[in-house]
């Protein structure tokens, strides 16, 4: 999959924001920032996919979120991955132990999914970023 990511610059305020105690404002000089250069390490192997469902809420992946996925990263146990399991795409945490592979949801309503030799399973990529709104539009 080859994708073209156009360069789109958005304003970047040069000061930081405090997540603890408020601090006096520094300089408000604005710079330009291209999110592609900060979020995408491998542009030709990265794609976006939208989440449907609630099985990964414990990993702060919510229904409607956009995921940035890098196909060039070799998946390791513990990674959140996009997998194709028997023809269906899914986002789950990959667990590999003692020669066995499991896809783990991060929601108490879902059981682990064992991946066996009978399954048609392929990892499409490792999730590198989760993009979601922090507020709802009225």
Q: Known catalytic residues?
A: 55, 92
What secondary structure letter does DSSP report for 59? Answer: G
Backbone angles phi, psi at 67, to 5 degrees: -110, 135
Backbone angles phi, psi at 57, to 5 degrees: -60, -30
Is the Cβ–Cβ distance between 122 and 69 less than 8 Å?
no
Q: Which residues pair with 65 in a beta bridge?
A: none
Torsion of CA 49, 54, 55, 58, to 10 degrees: 100
Give 72-115 as a DSSP string: TSPP-TT-EEEEEETTEEEEEEEEEETTEEEEE-SSTTS--EEE
């Amino acid at each position: 999959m080859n994708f073209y990511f156009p360069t789109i610059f958005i304003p970047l305020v040069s000061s930081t924001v405090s997540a603890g105690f408020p601090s006096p404002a520094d300089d408000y000089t604005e710079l330009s920032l291209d999110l592609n250069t900060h979020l995408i390490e491998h542009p030709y192997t990265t794609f976006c996919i939208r989440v449907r469902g609630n099985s990964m809420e414990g990993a702060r992946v919510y229904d409607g979120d956009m995921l940035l996925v890098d196909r060039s990263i070799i998946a390791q146990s513990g990674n959140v991955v996009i997998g194709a399991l028997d023809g269906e795409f899914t986002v789950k945490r990959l667990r590999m132990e003692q020669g066995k592979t499991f896809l783990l949801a991060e929601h108490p309503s879902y059981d682990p999914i064992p991946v066996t030799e009978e399954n048609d399973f392929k990892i499409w990529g490792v999730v590198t970023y989760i993009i979601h709104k922090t507020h709802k539009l009225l």
